[in-house]
Amino acid sequence: MSIKTRFAPSPTGYLHVGGARTALFSWLYARKHGGKFVLRIEDTDLERSTQESVNAILEGMTWLGLEYDEGPFYQTHRFDRYKEIIRQLLDQGDAYYCRCSKEELEAMREQQMANKEKPRYNGKCRDANHEESENAVIRFRNPTDGEVVIDDLIKGRIVVSNKELDDLIIARADGTPTYNLTVLVDDMDMGVNYVIRGDDHINNTPRQINILKALGAELPRYAHVPMILGPDGARLSKRHGAVSVMQYRNDGYLPEALLNYLVRLGWSHGNQEIFSVDEMIELFELDDVNVSASTFNNEKLLWLNHQYIMNSDPAHVAHHLSWHMGELGIDPTQGPELIDVVKAQRERSKTLVEMATSSRYFYQDFGDYDEKAAKKNFKQGADEVLQVLLDKFSAEPEWDGERLHQLVLETAEQLELGLGKVAQPLRVAVSGTAVSPPIDVTLALLGRKKTLARMERAINFIKDKKG
Phi then psi dihedrals of residue 88, to 5 deg? -60, -45
pLDDT of residue 362 exceeding 80, the answer is: yes
pLDDT of residue 374: 96
pLDDT of residue 45 exceeding 90, the answer is: no
Q: Which residue has the higher pLDDT, 317 or 242?
A: 317
- 448-459 pLDDT, tens digit per residue, is 999 999 999 999
Instruction: Look at the alpha carbons of 43, 83, 212, 132 in this order and tell me if their dihedral is positive or negative.
Output: positive
pLDDT of residue 467: 62
Write down the CATH number for the domain with range 365-467.
1.10.10.350
Mean pLDDT, rounded, for 261-275: 95
> Within a 10 A sphere around the Cβ of 411, how many other Cβ atoms?
22
124 DSSP assignment: T
pLDDT of residue 63 exceeding 90, the answer is: yes
Using DSSP bridges, classify how beta strands 228-229 and 294-295 pair: parallel, antiparallel or unpaired: parallel
From CA 345, how far away is CA 322, in angstroms rounded?
Answer: 14
pLDDT of residue 318 exceeding 80, the answer is: yes
pLDDT of residue 305: 98
pLDDT of residue 239 exceeding 80, the answer is: no
Mean pLDDT, rounded, for 424-436: 97
Q: Are the CB atoms for 231 and 240 separated by under 8 Å?
A: yes
pLDDT of residue 243: 78
pLDDT of residue 345: 98
pLDDT of residue 134: 85
pLDDT of residue 242: 65
The answer to whether the bond into 9 is cis (omega within 30° of 0) is no
Residue 431: pLDDT band by 50, 70, 90 thresholds?
very high
Mean pLDDT, rounded, for 278-282: 97
pLDDT of residue 140: 98
Of the candidates 34, 7, 45, 16, the one whose C-alpha atom is nearest the C-alpha of residue 197 is: 7
pLDDT of residue 383: 96
From CA 215, how far away is CA 119, in angstroms rounded?
Answer: 27
Residue 47: pLDDT band by 50, 70, 90 thresholds?
confident
pLDDT of residue 404: 97
- Residues annotated as catalytic are 238
Of the candidates 242, 221, 219, 218, the one whose C-alpha atom is nearest the C-alpha of residue 230 is: 242
- 12-39 pLDDT, tens digit per residue, is 989 999 999 999 999 999 999 999 999 9
What is the per-residue DSSP string for 70-103? EEEEEGGGGHHHHHHHHHHHHHHTSEEEE---HH
Q: What whole-number percentage of the chain has pLDDT above 90?
A: 91
> Within a 10 A sphere around the Cβ of 312, how many other Cβ atoms?
18
Query: Which of 105-119, 137-151, 254-268, 434-448 bottoms out in mean pLDDT, i.e. has the lowest?
Result: 105-119
- Structural Rg of the chain based on CA atoms: 31
